[in-house]
């Protein structure tokens, strides 16, 4: 009986802490060249960490990194409040991005981020639905599976 209870407990903890891909894109307005459009996804590891990958539209540039949410996403109190999160990424062209996010605690989603790289270029991101994400990427991109994202 104890073994079954332990298995159920571990299973419930795993389900409650793992997450689905959350999609985001740079702020896109009409007339913005492809080189200024970034899109990506992050996948929660646990209640405060997520792995992230982004791509630059129209190029082979890819960035990988992590997001750290400063408050547990499954906390009982104020779970719909926004909280600070930090995203740090390294890109294939040597760019290092540091993005500060405001994300909803309950879902690790529904937020926006702004930040800079080591050359003081600014970046603005927002979370989007999967449908909007596919429209921006012309259905041509596949975000790597969870095993790829969890290699850190």
pLDDT, one tens digit per residue, over 68-83 is 877 665 555 555 677 8
Given this model, what pLDDT does residue 36 score?
76
Residue 55's nearest CA partner among 112, 85, 95 is 95
Q: Using CB atoms within 10 A of its CB, is residue 61 exposed (0-12), middle (13-18) or buried (19+)?
A: middle
Given this model, what pLDDT does residue 149 score?
46
pLDDT, one tens digit per residue, over 7-28 is 544 444 444 444 567 888 887 5
Average pLDDT, rounded, for the chain: 74
Q: pTM for the whole thing?
A: 0.69
Given this model, what pLDDT does residue 56 score?
87
Contact, 57 vs 34, CB < 8 A?
yes
pLDDT, one tens digit per residue, over 30-62 is 566 667 788 888 887 777 788 889 888 888 888
How many C-beta neighbours within 10 Å does residue 83 have? 20
* Alpha carbons 55 and 61: distance in angstroms, whole number: 6
Question: Which one has a higher pLDDT value, 45 or 84?
Answer: 84
């Amino acid at each position: 009986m104890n073994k079954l209870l332990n298995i159920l407990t571990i299973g419930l903890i795993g389900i409650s802490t793992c997450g689905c891909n959350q999609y985001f894109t740079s702020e896109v307005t009409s007339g913005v060249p492809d080189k200024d459009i970034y899109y990506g996804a992050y996948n929660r590891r646990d209640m405060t960490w997520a792995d992230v990958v982004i791509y630059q539209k129209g190029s082979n540039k890819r960035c990988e990194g992590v997001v750290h949410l400063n408050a547990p996403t499954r906390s009982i109190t104020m779970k719909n409040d926004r909280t600070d999160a930090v995203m740090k990424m390294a890109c294939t062209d040597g760019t290092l991005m540091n993005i500060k996010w405001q994300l909803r605690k309950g879902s690790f989603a529904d937020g926006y981020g702004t930040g800079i790289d080591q050359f003081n270029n600014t970046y603005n991101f927002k979370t989007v639905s999967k449908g909007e994400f596919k429209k921006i990427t012309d259905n041509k991109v596949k975000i790597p599976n969870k095993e790829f994202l969890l290699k850190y």
